[in-house]
Amino acid sequence: METKKPSDISAYEVQDISDVVGSFGPWQRRVFIIFFYINIVGIWQNLSITFLAPNMNFWCIEPNSTDSFSLPVLPNSTDQMLRRLSNNTSKDECMITVYSEQNATMVSFVNVSQPETVPCTKWQYDTSYTSQTLVSEFDLVCDREWLVSLAKSIYMIGFLVSVILFGQLSDWIRRLPTIFISYIVTTISLLLFLLSTSYLMFVILRFFQAFGRTGLTTIGFVLLMEIVGPQHRTEAGIAIQLGWTVGFITLALVGYLFRHWFWFQVAMSVPILPLVFFYKFIPESPRWLLIQGKVKQLEKILIEGAKLNGQELKYQIKDLKMLKEQKTGQNRSTSNVFDLFRSPKMRSRVLNMIYLWIVNAFMYYGLSYNTNDLAGNPYLNFFLAGALEIPAYASVFFGIKKWGRRPTLTFFMLAGGCACAAIIAVPESILWLTTAFAMIGKFCISGSFGVLYLYTSELFPTVVRNVAIGTCSMWARVGSILAPFVKELGKATHVSVPNIIYAILAVSSGLLALLLPETKGQKMPDSLLEGEHFGEHGPLKDRGNCSKNEK
């Protein structure tokens, strides 16, 4: 049956916002472009630590010396002097070998006593690939190296707090004011970051960067899904994530061009500033206005959207069936997060999904952060890791259309786990093969993450859909908070431990995904009862979820 145009639908037939303004026209496209751009500069913030605090080769130098070749003599309280015996720090760059000199005024003609090894207090850094970084600025090496991983985790804690707070705030005070607050927090923290004079100031401002930036992108994604019609939500939901991919790739170029941490941060901050001029082009969520009964504001936005999309309205907004139903309370819901756990099937599915989100976030950020641990040029490695997301998303789009959500997700998770496991067996001398398997793992985990957003939104009923996505996203931050420390775990135990962990988690996730029902071609559940029995019957065509290619 041919789909009616919005202008041909009567007020009584209107069931969705898109029936009034159209599914995906210039009105929605404008918002899509704005948040696509925000995703580009947003992933810059997420992964900028890779270039702000990269791996740097370093070596000990004596205190008060300006280079590694001077050999100053330093007296102490017992009139002894310490001088470095050797420039060779291959065994331990964090220690320096010294010997004492009794009553000497010159380096020559001294009696050499038993050598002594003491901790370094000053280092020189290899700037072959970088200039001044936060590692060299704050000496984040040796017993302070773990502070880099801590900074990554603190950023993700800001991500977690933002998901909880801004998600609730957007339901209270509307989407648009919440987006503006997020923008202000992001801009101020980015600019203040340029004035960082200590590690503590650096991590505090990184927390607020994550706090503000996350509000921009997560609320923006929700807003986009609320104004795009059901016929285009699958495509729009996957396409908007390509903004992360573009940002990932372009960040390698930004890092290559701006190798001093200060100018690199300037390059991170400037693209955020013009967003203030885009504010007037972002509409308030019509669905939020509908639920809150804001009829006049809803009417203004729908008329503007319909006009921009070239749609002619033949009825009054106040006569819409969905508005009358909302007024009588037919569509109202008092559901909350606890409703996800009341019934057995829903409970097992949400716990399964939470585990999948944790594992995906853990592996995605773990593999993305550590691209400069791989052999070769760090900028090229980072570029390739980002570029791999383009075919990954293309594969996802093909897979979910042809085979469905569950088999596609399972395939990517199992393949990613096998790639990480294969790294363990690669000899240390074949570095290119290790890099290749790591890139395959990154490819697969990018694809599975792309499936998760769509799969989660389709699996749970309308009355708890936003709550389900928010809950899963919140728990995903636990994985991203832990991800930086897998590198430290490998250093403390064995170099293969991180890949063993990745392999076990990915394979177990892929197998657990088989327990979830397929959503391809299924009518999305609305009530909690429908959600509990979802997947028990054969596929039912749904106007909002079954495209021509999903028959």
**Tens digits of per-residue pLDDT, 126-147?**
877 778 888 888 888 888 888 8
Per the domain annotation, does 489 fall within a domain? Answer: yes
**What average pLDDT does the segment 252-279 reach?**
90
Model confidence at 66: pLDDT above 80: no
Angle, CA 342 vertex, CA 337 and CA 346 arms, to 5°: 85
- Do 135 and 277 have their domain in common? yes
User: Cα separation of 357 and 472, whole Å?
Assistant: 6
pLDDT at 384 (0 to 100): 84
Q: For residue 332, what are the contacts with CB-CB under 8 A and spacing of at least 6?
A: 291, 326
User: What tokens appear for 30 in the block?
Assistant: 């404008």
Per the domain annotation, does 544 fall within a domain? Answer: no
Phi, psi of 347 (to 5 degrees): -65, -45
Angle, CA 50 vertex, CA 359 and CA 192 arms, to 5°: 110
- Do 53 and 202 have their domain in common? yes
Contact 217, 39 (CB under 8 A): yes
Choose the final residue of a domain: 330, 354, 375. Answer: 330
Comparison of pLDDT for 4 and 282, the residue scoring more: 282
**What average pLDDT does the segment 297-320 reach?**
74
Model confidence at 388: pLDDT above 80: yes
- Do 141 and 266 have their domain in common? yes
- Do 169 and 313 have their domain in common? yes
pLDDT class for 86, splitting at 50, 70, 90? very low
pLDDT class for 325, splitting at 50, 70, 90? low
| Maximum CA extent, the chain | 103
Comparison of pLDDT for 128 and 420, the residue scoring more: 420
Comparison of pLDDT for 22 and 507, the residue scoring more: 507
Per the domain annotation, does 92 fall within a domain? Answer: no
User: Cα separation of 398 and 384, whole Å?
Assistant: 22
Contact 535, 524 (CB under 8 A): no
Choose the final residue of a domain: 330, 345, 364. Answer: 330
Tokens 């003599």 -> residue: 73
User: Cα separation of 191 and 212, whole Å?
Assistant: 13
- Do 233 and 306 have their domain in common? yes
Cβ burial of 277 (10 Å; 0-12, 13-18, 19+) is exposed
- Do 282 and 146 have their domain in common? yes
| DSSP character string of 398-464 | HHHHHT-HHHHHHHHHHHHHHHHHHHHHS-TT-HHHHHHHHHHHHHHHHHHHHHHHHHHHHHS-GGG
User: Mean pLDDT score of the chain, rounded to an integer?
Assistant: 78
- Do 206 and 301 have their domain in common? yes
- For residue 266, which of 195, 322, 203 has the smallest C-alpha distance? 195
- Do 246 and 393 have their domain in common? no
348: domain CATH number is 1.20.1250.20
Range of the domain at 177: 17-61+123-330
pLDDT at 40 (0 to 100): 93
Contacts 24+ apart (CB under 8 A), 450-453: 450/238, 450/241, 450/392, 450/393, 450/396, 451/396, 451/399, 451/400, 451/405, 451/408, 451/409, 451/412, 452/353, 452/356, 452/357, 452/360, 452/409, 453/237, 453/238, 453/241
User: What tokens appear for 310 in the block?
Assistant: 């070239």
User: Cα separation of 527 and 357, whole Å?
Assistant: 24
Strand-strand pairing, 74-75 and 123-125: unpaired
| DSSP character string of 279-324 | GGGPPPPHHHHHHHT-HHHHHHHHHHHHHHTTPPP-S-GGG-HHHH
Model confidence at 34: pLDDT above 90: yes
Per the domain annotation, does 86 fall within a domain? Answer: no
Local structure of residue 95 (DSSP, 8 states) = E
**What average pLDDT does the segment 166-193 reach?**
87
Contacts 24+ apart (CB under 8 A), 396-399: 396/238, 396/447, 396/450, 396/451, 397/238, 399/447, 399/451
pLDDT at 370 (0 to 100): 73
> What is the tally of structural domains in the chain?
2
User: What tokens appear for 156 in the block?
Assistant: 């993700």
Per the domain annotation, does 190 fall within a domain? Answer: yes
Per the domain annotation, does 107 fall within a domain? Answer: no
- For residue 381, which of 428, 325, 439 has the smallest C-alpha distance? 439
The CA-atom distances, in angstroms, between 83 and each of 68, 94, 109, 112, 432 are 12, 16, 14, 10, 41
Burial 162-172 (b: 16+ CB within 10 A, else e): bbeebbebbbe
Contact 394, 242 (CB under 8 A): no
- Do 305 and 161 have their domain in common? yes
Model confidence at 467: pLDDT above 80: no
- Do 325 and 418 have their domain in common? no
Per the domain annotation, does 293 fall within a domain? Answer: yes
Per the domain annotation, does 103 fall within a domain? Answer: no
- Do 54 and 182 have their domain in common? yes
Percentage of the chain surpassing pLDDT 90?
19
Choose the final residue of a domain: 330, 355, 372. Answer: 330
User: Cα separation of 383 and 375, whole Å?
Assistant: 14
Report the first-to-last Cα separation within the chain, whole angstroms. 14
- Do 322 and 342 have their domain in common? no
**What average pLDDT does the segment 39-66 reach?**
80
